[in-house]
């Protein structure tokens, strides 16, 4: 929980520290065994939920700002953040009387209509995927809860955040055909069903098992180990691991995958 005076400071003095008209929204996806979740925050004194977001300091890079915002929420600082789209419909940030009331409730004072948090805001969207069991979520100055929600049970979010989430998922699903994924999401040694499940869960569709494995192996992204995992009578699938050098090269240069 952020102390009250810090929240009030942010509302009253943030205009000197951050660029106006601009914000960042981070869609943090969390993967864990067959499930895809997303990190959401609940606004203080309200039952509204939102994505993790924040502002850009006067002399800060966009990607630094996104990394800082996500670190504040999750404690993680080695997350591969991907910028995917900038959202700027004028209406997306038209603030209502309720938004002004909300700020006034928090600050216990009056908030002018030209307050920096009420200006037209263009928001730059980033997404990342993490293993959600590794994350310990923290609320931000305007929220009192920060929790994982299953992708399919996300409630109505503030502003255009449901749209931003849907676009992030589309971008992630396209990106997965051009950049490898899984290095921080799977154990160091994994079975083919485990990596197959990761891709199916993210893509939200079935993938032919045989073609899938053949493709990843032929690109050199994963290699078979001379080791098996025993998971029951007569079942001991081979283990695989990522070829980190080829994985990093593929991250940098891009790949073309079609299962």
Q: Which residues bind its own copies (CB under 8 A)?
A: 19-22, 56, 58-62, 83, 85-86, 88-90, 120, 122, 124, 170, 174, 177-178, 254, 256-258
> How many Cα neighbours within 13 Å face the side chain of 13?
6
- Of 90 and 232, nearer to its own copies (C-beta) is 90
- Is the separation of the CB atoms in 159 and 50 below 8 Å? yes
- The CA distance from 31 to 50, in Å, is 19
How, if at all, do strands 49-50 and 52-54 pair?
A: unpaired
Comparison of 62 and 158: residue with beta carbon closer to its own copies: 62
CB 255 within 8 A of CB 243: no
Q: How far is the CB of 21 from its own copies (least distance, A)?
A: 6
Rounded-to-integer distance, Cα 32 and Cα 35, Å? 5
- Residue 242 has a CB neighbour count (10 Å cut-off) of 22
Give the residue with the Cβ less far from its own copies, 126 or 240: 126
- In the bound state with its own copies, the residue whose beta carbon lies nearer, of 71 and 120, is 120
| Least distance to its own copies, CB of residue 72, Å | 19
Question: Minimum Å distance from CB 138 to its own copies?
Answer: 25
Q: How far is the CB of 93 from its own copies (least distance, A)?
A: 12
């Amino acid at each position: 929980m952020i102390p009250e005076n810090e929240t009030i400071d942010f509302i009253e003095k943030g205009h000197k520290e951050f660029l106006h008209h601009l914000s960042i929204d981070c869609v943090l996806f969390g993967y864990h065994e067959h499930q895809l979740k997303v990190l959401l925050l609940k606004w203080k004194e309200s039952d509204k939920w939102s994505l993790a977001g924040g502002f850009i300091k006067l002399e800060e890079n966009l990607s630094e700002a996104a990394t800082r915002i996500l670190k504040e929420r999750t404690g993680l600082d080695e997350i591969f953040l991907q910028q995917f789209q900038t959202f700027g419909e004028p209406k997306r940030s038209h603030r209502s009387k309720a938004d002004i009331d909300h700020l006034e409730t928090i600050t216990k004072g009056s908030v002018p209509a030209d307050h920096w948090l009420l200006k037209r805001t263009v928001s730059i969207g980033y997404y990342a995927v993490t293993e959600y069991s590794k994350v310990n979520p923290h609320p931000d100055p305007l929220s009192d809860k920060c929790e994982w929600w299953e992708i399919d049970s996300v409630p109505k979010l503030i502003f255009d955040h449901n749209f931003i989430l849907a676009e992030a998922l589309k971008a992630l699903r396209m990106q997965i055909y051009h950049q490898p994924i899984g290095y921080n999401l799977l154990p160091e040694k994994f079975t083919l069903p485990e990596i197959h499940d990761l891709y199916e869960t993210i893509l939200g569709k079935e993938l032919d098992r045989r073609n899938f494995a053949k493709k990843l192996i032929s690109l050199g992204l994963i290699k078979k180990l001379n080791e098996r995992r025993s998971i029951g009578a007569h079942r001991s699938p081979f283990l695989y691991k990522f070829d980190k050098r080829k994985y990093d090269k593929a991250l940098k240069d891009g790949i073309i995958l079609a299962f």
